[in-house]
Amino acid sequence: MRRAHSVEQVRAAEKALMASLPEGALMQRAAAGLAYAVIDHLGGAYGKRVVLLVGSGDNGGDALYAGALLARRGARVEAWLLSDRAHTGGVGALKAAGGIVSSGVISTGSITGDLVIDGIVGIGGKPGLRPEAEEALDVLAGVPVVAVDTPSGVCVDTGEVDGAHVTADLTVTFGTYKPCHLLDPAASACGKVQLVDIGLELPIPAIESLEAADVAALVPRPAPDGHKYTRGVVGLRVGSATYPGAALLAVAGANTGLAGMVRYVGTASEWVKRQHPEVVGDGQAQAWVVGSGSADGANSALAFARASGVPLVIDADSLRALNGPLGVPAILTPHAGELAALIREDRADIEARPLHYARLAAQRFEAVVLLKGRRTTIASPDPDTPVRVNTTGTSWLATAGSGDVLGGLIGSLLATGLAPIDAASAGAWLHGAAATLASAGGPVTASGVAAAIPAVIRSLPAVSS
């Protein structure tokens, strides 16, 4: 599990740790981790030209001490101080190691170099950059960037961006991930994120992201004496005469062997029987999936499923019928446009603030909300439950029908008895991993994603008993 903690949580943990360490020891730990990450990134230090962009915060101190270590390893290191309150000890250390220190931007023309280290703003900084920082980045445009802890100019706790910000090739962070490393749109500015352990003791995180071992622990395994009913029955009321393909794709997502039985009720029954002969008709289910391609039947499908009293996955057309809490456990799976229509907000604002709106919708409808996107955001109605962010997938997954597959897959996990937050987040992880496997670096179709799900499950690490 990758865990991301808020600025407040990190600061409290750092304060507690610093009370037990000699003064400056924690910064030295961080700076050493940063320096060695940079050396790995560059393939060595000797002869490399490194420019440090240094602000007034601790990130600037980290950059300066790391620069001193790089200078001692033979790098040519220059620090551009963008604040008159740069870390005094760090400045002295860099000068003592042979580094060059200048106040402000030292050139108005383009500069070549091997690397820029972004130590402009610390984790408490506000979104956006000051003019001197923007000028420095313009001068150094095209030079690879390593960000200290977080890219300067992004909102650390929300992942939002507002104005100019650093776009890094590598972000080296300390103690724990920060929300902006996982949440879009800021996550796309982080590049690869490398975590350096500095010994922090941390509470329950604000944000978390499943990894393969976590998914392996969640995926249901048949009991030795299990049968098709004990393994869970998932029902789907999806598709329509207009969109029969949505039914086929949703059923394909559900019919991957995770649940013991799949039921389908709808106008595409004959199509479903031809492609999935093991799928049966109406009857009791432990979870229902509704809405995908349902057109005019979406409202009645939701009403039936809701009356059954079992957990629901609500997608696409059935989302339009919602006006408040459902009274049963539910997972809503909108993309930004569908959520915008549901809560009457602007789509662009939802795409810019996915964490805010996923949480808002989860509270309003008292349901788990899976907001689809490059980094799918999954919020629980319980404010004490960490928001989950899915990081698997490929840009090729942006293809018609992939959401139908996801809805069916989540429904099958929900039918096996997983909690809604676990079914949604494990389903998103498997869906993204299946897309990556099926794509193999090239185009993929929704049908191909569904077909790859069993192989992804087989590849999960073994779970110790």
Residues tagged in the binding site annotation? 58-62, 118, 122-128, 149, 152, 246, 293, 335, 372-376, 403-404
Binding residue positions for (6S)-NADPHX: 58-62, 122-128, 149, 246, 293, 335, 404
Which residues carry a binding-site annotation for AMP?
372-376, 403
What CA–CA distance (Å, rounded) separates 71 from 210?
A: 39
Phi and psi for 314 in degrees, rounded to 5? Answer: -115, 120
Both structure tokens of 129: 């950059």
Phi, psi of 123, deg, nearest 5: -70, -15
Closest CA to 184 of 336, 313, 315: 336
**Which residue blocks in 140-243 are alpha helix, DSSP H?**
179-182, 212-218
Q: What is the CA radius of gyration of the chain?
A: 25
C-alpha span between 157 and 381 (Å, rounded)? 19
Neighbours of 273 (CB within 10 A): 14
Query: Distance (Å, rounded) from C-alpha 345 to C-alpha 144?
Result: 37
How many Cα atoms within 13 Å fall on the side-chain side of residue 307? Answer: 6
Apex 116 CA angle, 114 and 122, nearest 5: 160
**Measured distance CA(295)–CA(300) in Å, rounded:** 11
Binding residues for K(+): 59, 118, 152
